[in-house]
Amino acid sequence: MEKSIEALLKEGRTFKPSASFRKDAWVRDEKPYRDAAKNRLKYWESWAKQLHWTQKWSKVLDWRPPFAKWFVGGKLNASFNCVDRHVEGGRRNKAALIWEGEPGDERTLTYADLQRAVCRFANGLKALGVQKGDRVTLYMPMIPELAVAMLACARIGAIHSVVFGGFSAEALRERINDSQSKIVVTADGSYRRGQIVPLKKNTDEALVGVSSVEKVVVFRRTGQAVDMGGPRDVWWDDVVKDQPCVCEPEPMDSEDMLYLLYTSGSTGKPKGVKHTTGGTLVGCFATTKWIFDLKDEDVYWCTADIGWVTGHSYIVYGPLANGATVLMYEGAPDWPDKDRFWTLIEKYRVSIFYTAPTAIRAFMKWGEAWPRKHDLSSLRLLGSVGEPINPEAWTWYRQVIGGGRCPVVDTWWQTETGHIMISPLPGVTTLKPGSATRPFPGIEAEVVDEQGKPAQSGYLVIKSPWPGMLRGIYGDDERYEQVYWSKYPGWYLTGDGCKRDKNGYFWLLGRVDDVLKVSGHRLSTMEIESALVDHKAVAEAAVIGKHHEIKENAVVAFVSLRHGYAGDDRLSKELREHVVKKIGSLARPDDVIFTVELPKTRSGKIMRRLLRDIAEGRTLGDTTTLADAAVVRSLKEKYEGQEA
């Protein structure tokens, strides 16, 4: 029998909502939790009723495990709900998108501007032969036209497949072929740390041997010369030229596909996750409003790239369905200096800031001097997304960026879930650093052991369907059932380890794949990493297991230090003892490897798989999603030299 993951890290600090925040919050008491528990379907239906439908549903949920249909028979259009509804409802001249490019260029689109841009591009797509159900791949920079293209596809019933602009030509080709896309929308290039990423050139390479693509639409972003290869390639400006500013939205069935999004997949073929129109919109609309306590006057900034699900749900569909003012930024957080984010917050008076733990740990590493240079008093709420956040980073974020006054909503969800599943509601939830706290009202989550029985620590599962859930893997229902529903029939297996405390709060422990077996005990790498980052010298840490003849796995810690600290034998010993003090001797690292940077994907996630390859002396696996391949090469040389 497989033993449960052992939860060893202890964290006792708590932060109650302030009276001033609670007074004006959307949720101030436990009533939503009670209402959802009493009648879950009626609760989700109450959210659906706040959106615009051209035909009401006949049934809230049709659940035939593992396949769900939400708001059965209902018809709506996501583009109308994110744009036209607000133009008609008094937000016509309100800023919808405020955008700044990495070089410093800026634009603002009101909801009326956005409506015109979406309709013109939607008509342009129609003129290119795009019809309802066709797939359109978007491989673009973080510019307003990416959101415009998504909403234009949604308007005419085309299915968009956004591919992150940092992906290689090979990764792009794989996704185009799997989706059999008819059109690719790209740009001449994008800016990243002062350099130009050649998006059109990558697209041309990706399309060699691809038969499904009929047209490539190219937006002029950088002005660099690109090869416009014959009749296949057309400029964005020519596509929208002379197109009318009115395009009637296609009535979409609630279960019609809204978008495909491919998980990057550290191993194996990427999975094309299917998300539908009604459920996605309802789930994103509800969670955005309550979790971020979103108000009409807020300036909301999610720093994710739209190429990831966070950008789909919490830059485009969730905020715009709520009529929010959304900040978009094209470039890197440290260009031209390490205070670019704080400059933007001060300049645009951002009130809600949603970013990733990897970014927060980078900010910690760079030091407090950078944010201290700026007026961040406009901030009223902070969010975290992407992976479990360690308590030390959480408290630094709250204190240094939030001035000790901003609640931190640590959100857990996945590409597959479509929207946030576990998170505080900032006006009512007592916060605990490092805990995502409680399931959002209407979400039934549980921690179970191998046999599916409730456990203090083990596997995180979702016990009932939710509106934004994936409806399958594109072209592979068998894989969908096998990966997510076979271990506990009828329950969704998240693949994440989790523990629950005495208050019922959820503490995510990272992917189950990242659990180490040490002398018969199963330890979470996330907890060991949190213990390391708790030390004043450590900015970031990644822990992996290396084969050990006696205890099965030896604990190897790769550690990046804060400014002003040097990695030496004395600090290595000190960090080992610090882990023992925080967790116990079982988790003591066998090796501590100091490194300037950790290998990360372009979305900022640490690639522990490559660290395992380095520690085991194996040939490095796939590195196409790496942000900087030089980091891995130098780390491999350093580790091999240390071993020698």
Of residues 299 and 552, more confidence is placed in: 299
Residues 6 or more apart whose CB falls under 8 angstroms from that of 589 comprise 528, 532, 543, 555, 556, 557, 575, 576, 579
Cα 615 to Cα 67, 267, 555, distances in angstroms: 41, 18, 10
Q: Is the pLDDT of residue 511 over 90?
A: no
Tens-place pLDDT, residues 205-219: 999 999 999 999 999
Query: Can you read off the two tokens belonging to residue 72?
Result: 């059965």
- The whole-number pLDDT of residue 339 equals 98
Cα 115 to Cα 14, 108, 119, 160, 220, distances in angstroms: 44, 13, 6, 18, 21
Residues 6 or more apart whose CB falls under 8 angstroms from that of 88 comprise none
For residues 347-352, average pLDDT:
98
- The whole-number pLDDT of residue 266 equals 43
- 3-state SS, 314-375, equals HHHHHHHHCCCEEEEECCCCCCCCCCHHHHHHHHHCCCEEEECHHHHHHHHHHCCHHHHCCC
Mean pLDDT computed over every residue of the chain: 92
Structurally, at CATH architecture level, domain 519-643 sits in 2-Layer Sandwich (3.30)
pTM of the entire structure?
0.87
Q: Is the pLDDT of residue 185 over 80?
A: yes
Q: Considering just the CA atoms, what is the radius of gyration of the chain in Å?
A: 24
Structure confidence at residue 267 as a pLDDT band (50, 70, 90): very low
* Cα distance between residue 632 and residue 313, in whole Å: 32
Q: Is the pLDDT of residue 146 over 70?
A: yes
Residues 6 or more apart whose CB falls under 8 angstroms from that of 36 comprise 43, 441, 442
CA nearest neighbour of 252 among 402, 496, 79: 79
- 8 A C-beta contact, residue 133 and residue 228: no
The third-level CATH classification (topology) of the domain covering 19-435+446-498 is Rossmann fold (3.40.50)
Tens-place pLDDT, residues 549-563: 777 788 999 999 998
Tens-place pLDDT, residues 186-199: 999 999 999 999 99
Query: Can you read off the two tokens belonging to residue 209?
Result: 């041997």
The amino acid present at 183, given as its one-letter code, is I
- Residue 41: how many other CB atoms lie within 10 Å: 15
* Cα distance between residue 1 and residue 295, in whole Å: 50
Q: List, as one string, the DSSP characters of 266-279.
A: SSSSPPEEEEEHHH
- Lowest average pLDDT, out of 292-301, 368-377, 384-393, goes to 384-393
- 8 A C-beta contact, residue 556 and residue 590: yes
For residues 1-9, average pLDDT:
54
Tell me the domain boundaries of the chain: 19-435+446-498, 519-643
* Cα distance between residue 447 and residue 384, in whole Å: 22
- 8 A C-beta contact, residue 262 and residue 273: yes
How big is the chain, counted in residues? 644
β-pair type (552-561, 538-548): antiparallel
- 8 A C-beta contact, residue 57 and residue 254: yes
- The whole-number pLDDT of residue 523 equals 76
- 8 A C-beta contact, residue 525 and residue 553: no
Question: Tokens 């490019």 belong to which residue?
Answer: 101
